[in-house]
Amino acid sequence: MNLRSFALAAIAVLVSLQIAEAQSYLPQPKVNQTVGFNNTRLNIESTKYKQILYVLANAYVDTLSIDRVSEDAMIHLMQQLDPHSVYVSAKDVKDLEEPLLGKFEGIGIEYALIRDTLTVQSVIPGGPSEKVGLRAGDKINSVDGEIISGTKLTQMRVLKYLRGDKGTKVRVGVIRRGEKERELVITRDKIPLNTVSSAYEIRPGIMYIRVSSFGANTYDEFMTPLQGQDLKGLIIDLRGNGGGYLHTALRLVNEFLEKGQLILFSEGRAVPRTDDYADGTGKLQNVQVAVLIDENSASASEILAGAIQDWDRGILIGRRSFGKGLVQQEYPLHDGSRIRVTVARYHTPSGRVIQTPYKMGKAEEYYRKLYDRYTSGESFNQDSIKINDSLVFKTLKQGRTVYGGGGIIPDIYIPIDTSYYSKPYLAVVNKGILSDFVGIYADSHRKDFERKYGTFSASQNEEANNRTYSNFVNGFNVSDSYLKEFLAYAKEKGAEFTEEDLKRSGNHLKNYLKGLIVRNLYGLDYYIRYDNLTDDEVRMAIDSLESPDNLE
């Protein structure tokens, strides 16, 4: 990936998560309120813009789409500001909000495109598809009489086929291995989007919870599996969590802090300082905590991690977080579009600014800093982290040294492990060759796995599913013949492994193949559980919680 593509991809990810983070608690400045700006001058400039559009619409040599010209101008204008102030067109508003609102309307499946065929990976418990008997491994061959298999399917086309308003019906032609095609009529409904992707007791008395983003339902998803648990420790995995709703993060942090302890404060040029304090009702005040973060943990994730670290409430493990600490205020425009304007900066309880420094209008340079963490060695060596010695802060109970200047630096650094990387290994992962092969393999052997290790379904109780998963993990290993089958498939796709490559990547490749079978058979939650078995950061978190002296 070249630098421009990397920067644009990073922008897209972060824009999708910058949704009204501050709207729930920041006072909204009046639209006509200007601080340090002359209203007469504002009127002159806005009139000039209208004149330009009028001239273009009526005098330009070629026909123009004034809507398009205006949209492009809005986008360009916002790009001259900080990296997180954005313009969102009316057509994009709904798509960007769905992941955080916690629901969408559709048929309720997770799927994969395997050999240009829509294949069901899992059905969402209680959703419309489960109610009509759709199950993992089924292939959707047609939708409302239209054959879709083998038609160069895309993700956007699949969403168009399957999503729709609650109450609408869709006819799907389903092919199940060993059976003739059958037609199912599915009534679309509201489908929950879970932001807690895994929650389970990883050791006696220690719960592990991975939070993928902070949405409207995250607090309940987080707290529900903890009910009735006799906890001595909790691992909160925020790796890859780009943020989301601020108020959700505040509610979670409140669970861990004592009454009156500051969670964060924010202030800006037009927005007075706002402080948020714990109210003392938290149920987890006496539970030891380990928080996992990495370079993709941003915004609300950094607020939670920063508060836990500043109050010496737990231990942070991983790599320096992204450094997104700007508060966006959302302003709706007359046509349904919106602008999200940065109005303040977040500060952790000790006073640290979370935001990584930036230059106005230099978004690519800003996102390049994340790319540079790899090239500079920071992702692989703790000594490569650039620390600003002038921005030294102290934690609020034990007086430990922590640093400002952008992002949250963890207490225990864990580098990225690249020891098993080889050129063909990276190719089979990045080009989807590995996941495509496993999808085909898992589907063709699904019946064999069920006979040997037990059935698994969303309608079964958790204990039965846990038993099936454990049977598979303990009983299945990637054999040499299975590995050879994959290597032949990879070679066909242009990724050939040499003996030297296999010495470097072979063991990890086998582990990854097994993990992806778990993902296909049992879903994301169990894939995370399997992956955690060999995860250095998770292992360090467990060790820290089982040895409380490490937290003092």
Task: Report residue 230: phi and psi, to 5°.
Answer: -90, 85
d(CA 225, CA 214): 17
d(CA 496, CA 487): 7
CA max distance for the chain: 78
Helix or strand run (H / E) with residue 185: strand 182-187
Residue 363 near residue 79, CB atoms below 8 Å: yes
Choose the catalytic residue: 299, 321, 350, 505: 299
User: Does the annotation count 369 as an active-site position?
Assistant: no
Measured between alpha carbons, how far is 345 from 328 in angstroms, rounded to an integer?
9
And the tokens for 215? 């949405």
From CA 106, how far away is CA 139, in angstroms rounded?
Answer: 17
Q: What's the CA gap between 156 and 176, in Å, rounded?
A: 24
> Is residue 537 within a helix (H) or strand (E), and if so which, with residue range?
helix 536-546
Distance CA 207, CA 345 (A): 33
> 423-430 vs 480-492: helix axis angle to the nearest 10?
80
Is 89 labeled as catalytic in the residue annotation?
Answer: no
Token reading at 183: 């037609």
Of 188, 213, 155, the residue nearest 17 (C-alpha): 213
261-264 CB contacts, 8 Å cutoff, 24+ apart: 261/311, 261/349, 261/396, 262/349, 263/303, 263/307, 263/349, 264/303, 264/306, 264/307, 264/346, 264/347, 264/348, 264/349
Q: Which of 139, 276, 324, 443 is catalytic?
A: 324
Using an 8 Å Cβ cutoff, are 473 and 518 in contact? yes
| Catalytic residue (choose from 310, 411, 443, 501) | 310
Q: Is 310 a catalytic residue?
A: yes
What residues are labeled active site?
299, 310, 324
